Structure 1
Amino acid sequence: MNILVADHHPVFRRGLKCMMKEDKEYNFKGKIDDGSQLVTSITNLKPDILILEVDLPNSNGIGSLREIRTNFPDLKILVVSCHPEEIYAVSALKAGANGYISKTRPVKEVKKALKSIHNGETFLSDNIKEQLESKSSNKILKFKKLSTREIEVLNLLSRGKRNKEIARHLSINEKTVSTYKTRLLKKLKVDNIADLIHQSRLLQIAS
Structure 2
Amino acid sequence: MAGDRLINVAIADDHKIFRDGIRMSLKYRDYIKILWEADDGKHMLHKLKIKTPDILLMDIQMPEINGLHALQLIRKEYEDIKIIIVSMYDDKETITKMMEYGANAYLSKTSDAEEIYKAIISCMNEDFYFNDLVNAAVLLKLQHRRKVRRFYPSSVNFNDKELKILKLITEDKTTEEISENVFLSPRTVETIRQNMKSKVGAKTIAGLVMYAMRNKLVE
TM-score, length of structure 2 as denominator length = 0.59
Query: Contact between 1:76 and 1:117, CA under 8 Å: does it hold in 2?
Result: yes
Query: Contact between 2:92 and 2:136, CA under 8 Å: does it hold in 1?
Result: no
Work out whether 1:93 is the aligned partner of 2:99.
yes
Query: Contact between 1:89 and 1:100, CA under 8 Å: does it hold in 2?
Result: yes
Aligned partner letter, 1:31: E
Query: Contact between 1:85 and 1:102, CA under 8 Å: does it hold in 2?
Result: no
Structure 2 segments unaligned to the other structure (5+ residues): 1-6, 151-219
Which residue in the other structure is 2:67 paired with? 61
Q: Which of 16, 20, 30 is the matching residue for 2:36?
A: 30
Question: Displacement, 1:62?
Answer: 1.1
Render the CA deviation track for 1:113-159: whole Å, top value 9, x for unaligned. Answer: 11111113322312441454258x9xx849x34659xxxxxxxxxxx
Inter-CA distance 131–66: structure 2 relative to 1 (3 Å threshold): closer
SS of structure 2 residue aligned to 1:3: strand
Which residue in the other structure is 1:4 paired with? 10
Aligned partner letter, 1:4: A
In 1, Cα distance between equivalents of 2:74 and 2:133 = 27
Aligned-pair RMSD on alpha carbons? 2.4
SS of structure 1 residue aligned to 2:117: helix
Q: Which of 82, 104, 117 is the matching residue for 2:123?
A: 117
Inter-CA distance 61–21: structure 2 relative to 1 (3 Å threshold): closer
Query: Contact between 1:79 and 1:101, CA under 8 Å: does it hold in 2?
Result: yes
Which residue in the other structure is 1:80 paired with? 86
Inter-CA distance 26–68: structure 2 relative to 1 (3 Å threshold): same
Structure 1 segments unaligned to the other structure (5+ residues): 149-207
In 2, Cα distance between equivalents of 1:28 and 1:85 = 29
In 1, Cα distance between equivalents of 2:134 and 2:54 = 25
In 2, Cα distance between equivalents of 1:108 and 1:51 = 15
